[in-house]
Amino acid sequence: MAIKKLVLDDFLEEENFSLIGIHCTIEDYRLAFLLNKVLDLKLKRQDKDIDNNNQKTAFSIFEWEDKTQFKIWNLVSNNCKIITNDFNDGLDSLFSANQVITKTHHLVSEYSKANYLLKISNNFSPNKEKIILEKILKINQVITAYSIDTESLKSKNQLIFN
């Protein structure tokens, strides 16, 4: 009797999306407002943040569903800072009391320098993506923005929101 093997990859569809990394130091709500203004979007803050690492980290997310072009736009924070108290039990000294440590976690660790990620479902043509990048770069508060190759991205599963 022949043994049949089913491969899960045969049944899963690859999600097509464009991804743009944005470097800036402004707050997420301010960047969403500026992107709405420049790109004529309607990004809104979602009720729930993206929980990662067993709810120890939370990344803010803004979303807009463009029903005319059948695209979903997501603006996601790539950084999450967690402040923890570290108790040094092994050392008895003046400095062994309570240390406050700030740890930074990244949603997409390969692009840890990017503060925000703009995900657009259903790929754009290269010309349209270039126009979007040029508009983002015209925002004074944005240091730089660039297109990220999603095919070579290792942590692609982190970007599945819905």
Return the amino acid letter for 109.
S
Of the candidates 161, 138, 135, 136, the one whose C-alpha atom is nearest the C-alpha of residue 64 is 161
- The CA distance from 144 to 66, in Å, is 25
Task: Give the orientation angle of helix 28-39 with respect to helix 126-137, to 10 degrees.
Answer: 120
Q: What is the average pLDDT score of the chain?
A: 84
Please give the domain boundaries of the chain with CATH numbers for all domains. 14-45+58-154 (3.30.310)
pLDDT in 10s for each residue of the chain, 162 residues: 678 776 665 555 566 889 999 999 999 999 999 999 999 999 999 998 888 766 578 899 999 999 998 899 999 999 988 887 765 555 555 555 667 788 888 889 899 899 999 999 887 778 888 999 999 999 999 999 999 988 888 877 778 776
pLDDT at 87 (0 to 100): 57
pLDDT at 94 (0 to 100): 58
pLDDT at 89 (0 to 100): 53
Q: Is the dihedral of CA 110, 120, 44, 155 positive or negative?
A: negative
pLDDT at 96 (0 to 100): 57
pLDDT by residue (tens digit) across 69-105? 889 999 999 998 888 776 555 555 555 566 778 888 8
- The CA distance from 62 to 87, in Å, is 36
